[in-house]
Amino acid sequence: DAGVIQSPRHEVTEMGQEVTLRCKPISGHNSLFWYRQTMMRGLELLIYFNNNVPIDDSGMPEDRFSAKMPNASFSTLKIQPSEPRDSAVYFCASSLGGLGTFGSGTRLTVV
C-alpha cells in the first residue's frame, strides 16, 4: 500500500494566486481529514469527510478555503486568493473508522 499520497510536496506561490492541494487517500478508507500545521498554532483540523460527504468544516479559517471530495479516491483543498499567512504544511489523513494515517504533507509558501 502506497499510503496517503499528497501533491505537490512543495508549493511556492504569489499572494493572490489560487492554490490547489491534492490528496489520494488509502484505498478502502472512508474518512478523510485535512490538517494545517504551523509553528504558532501546531496541528489544526480544517475539515473532514465521511463517505465523501463533508461532516465538519468548522476548522476552515475563511471563505478563501474550500475542500472537495468528488469520489472516494481523491480530495482537493483550494485556497483562493492565497495570502502570506496561509503559509504552512498541509496534511491529509485517511482512516477506516479510526484516527487516520497521515500523508507526508504539502509545504505551502505564499510570498
Partner 1 sequence: EDQVTQSPEALRLQEGESSSLNCSYTVSGLRGLFWYRQDPGKGPEFLFTLYSAGEEKEKERLKATLTKKESFLHITAPKPEDSATYLCAVQSSNTGKLIFGQGTTLQVKP
Question: Residues in the site for partner 1, rule: CB under 8 A?
Answer: 4, 42-45, 56, 91, 93, 99, 101-105
Q: How far is the CB of 14 from partner 1 (least distance, A)?
A: 24
Q: How far is the CB of 29 from partner 1 (least distance, A)?
A: 14
- Do 94 and 31 meet the contact criterion of CB atoms below 8 Å apart? yes
Instruction: Scan for cell 505551502, then name that residue.
Output: 108
Q: How far is the CB of 16 from partner 1 (least distance, A)?
A: 28
Mark 30-45 as b/e (b = at least 16 C-beta within 10 Å): ebbbbbbeeeeeeeeb
Which CB atom, from 43 or from 111, has the smaller least distance to partner 1? 43
